[in-house]
Amino acid sequence: MSEVNKVSDMNNPADYDLGAEEILQEEIAIQHLMEGYIMPNNFNTDLLEPQEISAVEQQRILNQTMQHMQNGQNGPSRQSTARSRRSGVPRRKLWVFGLAAVMLLAMSSLAVAEFALNKDFLGFFNAESGQLPQQSGQEINMQDSNENGTLTVEQVVGDKQSVYVLLDFVAPEGVVLDGDGYQWDKAHVMLSQSTGAGYYFEELPDDDPADNHLRMMLCLQTNVSLKGQRIDLNLGGLKGYITEDMDYTQPLPGEWKLGFVLDYTPTSDVLPQNVDIKLGEATAHVSSLEISPFTIIVDVDVDNPEGYMPPAGYVEPQGGSVEIADDGTEKMIPYSESPVEIKISDLLADLDRFEVTLQDGSVLQTSGGGGNAELNHHQIIFSFNQLLNLEDIASIKYQGQELQLR
Amino acid sequence: MQEVSKNLSLLWSADQGWAEAKCEEAAMQETDYEQGLLGLIQQQPEQGLAEAIKQYGGLVQAVVRRVLGNECQQDVEECTSEVFWRLYQAVGQEGRFEAGRSLKSYLCGIARHVALDRGRRLSRTVWQELPPEDKAGAPGADPAEQLADKDQKQLVQQCVDAMPQPDRDIFILRYYFGEQVKNIAARLGLETKAVENRLYQGRRRLKKTLMERGVEL
């Protein structure tokens, strides 16, 4: 959404001194401020160049909309639910409140043999019961409570480098959590051995969108094996988005801290590859493909990254990348000035250039892609909206090349 | 000569008054249409939504495309259908539509939010050292956090709304819809430099307003 625009105005010496980076920072800050802005009625919407949509497309959109309506209040699959602001008493009375001190309870742990995928996981992955090997998941059932609510880590599932953590949050009786897409204002997620990782939280649909109860998924990927690693969570400032107000709710006070060790057994198929892909003058080589029930990991070696050129038809991302210094400060790097390995990684993780076709002819929907960017080696992890099974996959096309599956 | 000027001025005022009256008439017609449409959605959802998609689908898609920054038709259509599903949910619920707010404005806001949400999900992550997301209390903390209460949000609203035209629309296109400067310039028939300068003036105005309230960008 952002780009750098160097503004030089000799009549305004203070601004003249602003460099591209400062202007970018200022523009980003203003974009944040505009979160709560309400577009005036007399804004000239023709400036947005709306185009007529065909009757066929109108019908397709209508069908999808009607489908959402039939799905009920949970709405679009894997989307944050839009929630009605109903008044009333929350129906759940599950927890006892009033504890001033933070309490950490380990109710049970490591019941791997008895693991059965929770219905929220089933919904999250559009899966059926029994579709996932038991050893891929782990019961956690840990709670942290204080006077502002109780956070429970219920289950985790994952593979070698990706983990999904099912969270349950119950606020005190009388608090209505009816915003959209709840997020944590403060989120420290720490791994015991990681050198790099990316994560996000996603709110899950629940039965009553106007009660004091939330279900969330923490999705985390890293560049080293997760087996045996400890995850520590320190979460606070829960806030949701009120669509009709176009604004976030006031963050809920309080912090919740939980730590647990990952003890599930990852399963995957590793398929060696020998496929060249074109990156302009650079020579890139896909060396390995690893398919687990949750992700596909692609390893790519690049011989001469300095020869990188974006391929025809590839739309480079707008904005830039964030560089985090040792002291934790963030620095915005405009895309045009980003290092070549970041540009290569962006291309390699482009969801439009990774296509998985199943035996029944359907194309699998990719839900995300990200990776580890080094000058000569890239590892990209693609995740999906459903569980994977190598036997169900007919072909994988990556950067225009067919990868080897058999 | 003075008389001629006076007459011209009167003529201009008369024209201006006529134009304003016409605008008001059009706005009233639009409001009537919107009220009728909302009623139809409530009573006959499928027919009402079909009409809403026909009327506003292109606008919603234009917002989604701008915010998502891509042309993946599947993403755009999914976001569009979600926007109309949210409209359906909102219809008939008291307080959902603020008095005086147009359906067009409401849909643009929802489309922007849905697309931002989708964009966050689709965003490609390059691994970094796990960053703490807690910036509260840090020097230069996010101004949006400092502007937590509604009064101060209104300050931003008032400041942007009070900008002269076309500065206000340029500011909205750039910072609300994420439009690129060169595209804004092309659309308004201005030089890129002129758009940058108007954006600069808008930023300066907003900064000044915020600073008067003790908030630093």
> For residue A347, what is the DSSP state?
H
Ranges assigned E (strand) in chain B? 125-126
Which residues on A lie below 8 Å from B95 (Cβ)? 85, 244
Which pLDDT score, from 0 to 100, does residue A212 have?
92
What integer best gives the mean pLDDT of chain B? 75
Which pLDDT score, from 0 to 100, does residue A33 have?
81
Q: Which of A209, A231, A261 is the last residue of a domain?
A: A261
Residues 6+ apart with CB under 8 A from B212: none
**A49 contacts B187? CB cut-off 8 A:** yes
Min Cα distance B7 → chain A (Å) is 30
Q: What is the mean pLDDT of residues A183-195?
A: 81
Together in a domain, A257 and A275: no
Together in a domain, A362 and A237: no
Together in a domain, A285 and A257: no
Asked if residue A247 has pLDDT above 80, the reply is: no
B127: nearest CB among A44, A67, A371: A371
- Encoding tokens for residue A399? 């950067």
Asked whether residue A64 is assigned to any structural domain, the reply reads no
Q: Which of A218, A241, A261 is the last residue of a domain?
A: A261
- pLDDT higher at B145 or A337: A337
Q: What is the CA radius of gyration of chain B?
A: 21
A313 in contact with chain B, both atoms CB, cutoff 8 A: no
Together in a domain, A257 and A110: yes
> For residue A231, what is the DSSP state?
E
CATH code: domain B1-123 is: 1.10.1740.10
* Helix (H), strand (E), coil (C) string for B30-87: HHHHHHHHHHHHHHCHHHHHHHHHHHHHHHHHHHHHHHHCCCCHHHHHHHHHHHHHHH
Which pLDDT score, from 0 to 100, does residue A235 have?
94
Range of the domain at A3: 1-35
Asked whether residue A52 is assigned to any structural domain, the reply reads no
Together in a domain, A245 and A105: yes
A336 in contact with chain B, both atoms CB, cutoff 8 A: no
Which pLDDT score, from 0 to 100, does residue A56 have?
83
At A79, the pLDDT band (50, 70, 90 cuts) reads very low
- pLDDT higher at A66 or B126: A66
Instruction: Give the CATH number of the domain where residue A214 resides.
Output: 2.60.40.1630
At A13, the pLDDT band (50, 70, 90 cuts) reads very low
Together in a domain, A251 and A385: no
At A14, the pLDDT band (50, 70, 90 cuts) reads very low
Q: Which of A212, A229, A261 is the last residue of a domain?
A: A261
Q: What is the mean pLDDT of residues A66-77?
A: 62
Together in a domain, A246 and A296: no
Asked whether residue A62 is assigned to any structural domain, the reply reads no
**B131 contacts A48? CB cut-off 8 A:** no
Asked if residue A234 has pLDDT above 50, the reply is: yes
Q: What is the mean pLDDT of residues B114-127?
A: 64
Cβ pair A21, A27 in contact under 8 A = no
ipTM of the complex: 0.76
B75 in contact with chain A, both atoms CB, cutoff 8 A: no
Together in a domain, A89 and A142: yes
B residues 22-41 lying closer than 8 A (beta carbon) to A? 27
Query: Where in chain B are all domains bearing CATH 1.10.10.10?
Result: 142-217
Asked if residue B12 has pLDDT above 60, the reply is: no
Residue with token string 């956070």: A151
- pLDDT higher at A322 or A151: A151
Together in a domain, A245 and A298: no
> For residue B28, what is the nearest residue in chain A, using CA coordinates?
A41
Asked whether residue A163 is assigned to any structural domain, the reply reads yes
Least confident of A17-26, A74-83, A253-262, A299-308: A74-83
Which residues on A lie below 8 Å from B70 (Cβ)? 315
Which pLDDT score, from 0 to 100, does residue A153 have?
96
Together in a domain, A253 and A305: no
Q: What is the mean pLDDT of residues B145-151?
A: 56
Asked if residue A406 has pLDDT above 60, the reply is: yes
Q: What is the mean pLDDT of residues A116-141?
A: 85
Cβ pair A405, A288 in contact under 8 A = no
Asked whether residue A351 is assigned to any structural domain, the reply reads yes
Which pLDDT score, from 0 to 100, does residue A28 have?
79
Cβ pair A127, A114 in contact under 8 A = no
Q: What is the mean pLDDT of residues A231-254?
A: 84
| Residue A240 to residue A178: CA distance in whole angstroms | 8
Asked if residue A253 has pLDDT above 50, the reply is: yes
Which pLDDT score, from 0 to 100, does residue A9 have?
32
Cβ pair A355, A37 in contact under 8 A = no
List, for residues B167-209, the tens digit of each pLDDT value.
Answer: 999 999 998 888 888 889 999 999 989 999 999 999 999 888 8
- pLDDT higher at B127 or A197: A197
> For residue B60, what is the nearest residue in chain A, using CA coordinates?
A50
Together in a domain, A135 and A253: yes
Which pLDDT score, from 0 to 100, does residue B99 have?
64
**What domain count does chain A have?**
3
* Helix (H), strand (E), coil (C) string for A156-178: EEECCCEEEEEEEEECCCCCCCC
Together in a domain, A298 and A205: no
Q: Which of B31, B126, B197 to mutate to test the interface with A (most CBs of A within 10 A)?
A: B126
CATH code: domain B142-217 is: 1.10.10.10
At A318, the pLDDT band (50, 70, 90 cuts) reads low
Asked if residue A315 has pLDDT above 70, the reply is: yes
pTM score, whole prediction: 0.59
At B71, the pLDDT band (50, 70, 90 cuts) reads low
Q: What percent of chain B has pLDDT over 90?
A: 24
Asked if residue B79 has pLDDT above 80, the reply is: yes
Asked if residue A207 has pLDDT above 80, the reply is: no
